Amino acid sequence: MANHWFPGHMAKARRLMSEHISSIDCIVEVRDARLPLSSANPMLNELKGNKPTLLVFSKSDLADEKASGAFKTYFDSINQPTLFVNSLHVSARNKIMKAIEDTLSEKRAKDKAKGIQFRMYKIMVVGIPNVGKSTLINTLAKKRVVDVANKPGVTQSLKWLNIDSKFMLMDTPGVLWPKFEDPNVGIKIALCHSMKESVVNIEEVLQFAINFMIEYYPHFCDPAISEPSYEAYLDRYVAKIQQNSKSQTHDAALLTLYRDFKEGRIGKMTYDFVEN
């Protein structure tokens, strides 16, 4: 999965984001907690430059808690503000608002030194498709102000939103990049629901997911398999899916298994490792 689609709305979004970046006070980059590194769009790194940036790792309820803790320690060590959060949880709003305030503290101090006591701060929310940007924005607004769906490509234009008297947020479309230099990055992104199923090689993704599970999360594997292998586990899972839903074809069972992985029903897994 070295290459994938790069729709027109993504190219347009990148251009519009570039045009607005000079007026932005802070970037909130939303990443998937299961992919703290792989869900970082290198084009966004170029775009945001030296703007104060808060990394919000969404869907933390689907990630390996131990791995999330290791990544939190790593990002703290390089002075990168981070927050691991389940944006749907009732406590999420206060945590996110405080993290944004902390990220803006230096800019506020500079404004105060210039005699600026108050102004509305502009925040751009960015990230790859279906990583949780819209859910986060609705959580901050305490109401549904943007559409949310459990699939990529819902937001396709830039939109300014007044969240409260302190912040104005810019909602942006999920943007991928034209080519994955590391094919495993594309597979991981597909595994975490950030690519349309129509462009995903499901068998390739399942092979990666099952082999990864066997090596790093063997406790999630079916204990009935005495000799772990991709083929053995795939046959076992597909047989169980077809047994539970007798109308499912082999291809439909593969799709069900793929969805079980990407929606966290197999178990809480993190597919990246802390950089040494």
What pLDDT does residue 157 have? 62
What pLDDT does residue 46 have? 77
Q: What is the pLDDT of residues 203-253, one digit of tens each?
A: 999 999 999 999 999 999 988 888 889 999 999 999 989 888 776 889 999
Q: What is the pLDDT of residues 44-100, one digit of tens each?
A: 777 877 889 999 999 999 999 999 999 999 999 999 999 998 876 767 888 998 999
Q: What is the pLDDT of residues 116-153, one digit of tens each?
A: 877 889 999 988 888 888 888 888 888 787 754 444 44
What pLDDT does residue 165 have? 79
What pLDDT does residue 248 have? 80
Q: What is the pLDDT of residues 146-171, one digit of tens each?
A: 754 444 444 446 778 887 778 888 88
Which position has the higher pLDDT, 269 or 224? Answer: 269
Would the pLDDT of 17 be above 70? yes
Domain with residues 8-171, CATH architecture: 3-Layer(aba) Sandwich (3.40)
Cβ atoms within 10 A of the Cβ of 153, count? 17
DSSP one-letter string for the chain: --B----HHHHHHHHHHHHHGGG-SEEEEEEETT-TTTT--HHHHHHHTTS-EEEEEE-GGGS-HHHHHHHHHHHHHTT--EEE--TTSTTHHHHHHHHHHHHHHHHHHHHHHTT----PEEEEEEESTTSSHHHHHHHHHTS--S---SSTT---S-EEEE-SSSEEEEE------SB-SSHHHHHHHHHTT-S-GGG--HHHHHHHHHHHHHHH-GGGS-TT-SS--HHHHHHHHHHHHHHHSTT--HHHHHHHHHHHHHTTSS----------
Q: Considering only CA atoms, which of 215, 219, 220 is closest in space to residue 257?
A: 220
What pLDDT does residue 159 have? 78
Which position has the higher pLDDT, 86 or 2? Answer: 86
What pLDDT does residue 213 have? 96
Intervals of CATH 3.40.50.300 along the chain? 8-171
The mean per-residue pLDDT over the stretch 188-215 comes to 91
Q: Considering only CA atoms, which of 38, 89, 97 is closest in space to residue 59?
A: 89
What pLDDT does residue 65 have? 96
Between the ranges 9-23, 26-40, 90-104, where is the mean pLDDT highest? 26-40
What pLDDT does residue 10 have? 61
What pLDDT does residue 7 have? 52
Which position has the higher pLDDT, 31 or 150? Answer: 31
Q: What is the pLDDT of residues 169-183, one digit of tens each?
A: 888 887 776 667 788
Give the global pTM.
Answer: 0.86
What pLDDT does residue 181 have? 76
Which position has the higher pLDDT, 193 or 238? Answer: 238
What pLDDT does residue 152 have? 42
